[in-house]
Amino acid sequence: MWYNRIVKCKTCGETKDLELFTRDKKAKNGRRKVCKQCDCERMKKYYRDNPDKAQLKREMNKGKPQWKSHKMTEEQYNEMFQRHDGKCHVCLTKDAKVVDHDHNCCSKQRSCGKCVRGLLCHGCNMSLGNFQDDTSILFRAISYLSNPV
């Protein structure tokens, strides 16, 4: 059965591709009525408004291997970890503790497993996020550092 690939989000009202909506077995088209971005914002607000629930979630996730959240196998994770002897794939100095993935492919926190780029330290991962994974911004930053005004 074929369904329309373009859906309107019930929250933001934007028309988006079906892939930008979380799966839902109960829904007619197999997806939720709220897009992933709006759902993410809703959950952020929920945890801001309910700090006790946020703390409980942090405690539950403590010690959980990151590779599980990114649909990787333990072998894939270990291979990436060994690639630079457990060091960040960008700075090569700090311990790699964060799984980095392409946010253009998947939503904020988790990935499909196909878009995992490497293992980074927290600082390098945050830096890439602050540069919005945009190479043109990174090149301008390099130029700025090389030739400050």
Tens of pLDDT, residues 13-45: 999 988 888 888 888 888 899 999 999 899 989
- For residues 27 and 33, give the distance between their C-alpha atoms in angstroms, rounded to a whole number: 8
Residues paired with 2 in a beta bridge: none
Nearest 10 degrees: CA dihedral of 112, 138, 136, 122?
20
- For residues 35 and 9, give the distance between their C-alpha atoms in angstroms, rounded to a whole number: 6
> pLDDT tens digit string along 100-141?
877 777 665 666 766 788 899 999 988 988 888 889 999 999
> Residue 33: its pLDDT value, please?
92
Q: Where in the chain is the domain with CATH 3.30.60?
A: 1-62
> Residue 109: its pLDDT value, please?
61
Q: Where in the chain is the domain with CATH 3.40.1800?
A: 65-149
Domain 1-62 has CATH 3.30.60: yes
- The reported pTM is 0.55
The separation between the first and the last C-alpha atoms of the chain, rounded to the nearest angstrom, is: 60
> Residue 117: its pLDDT value, please?
86
The CA radius of gyration of the chain, in Å to the nearest whole number, is 19
Please provide the size of the chain in residues.
149
> Residue 15: its pLDDT value, please?
92
- For residues 131 and 138, give the distance between their C-alpha atoms in angstroms, rounded to a whole number: 7
Q: Choose which CATH entry (1.10.1060, 1.10.3210, 3.30.1600, 3.40.1800) describes domain 65-149.
A: 3.40.1800
**Mean pLDDT, residues 34-61 taken together:** 87
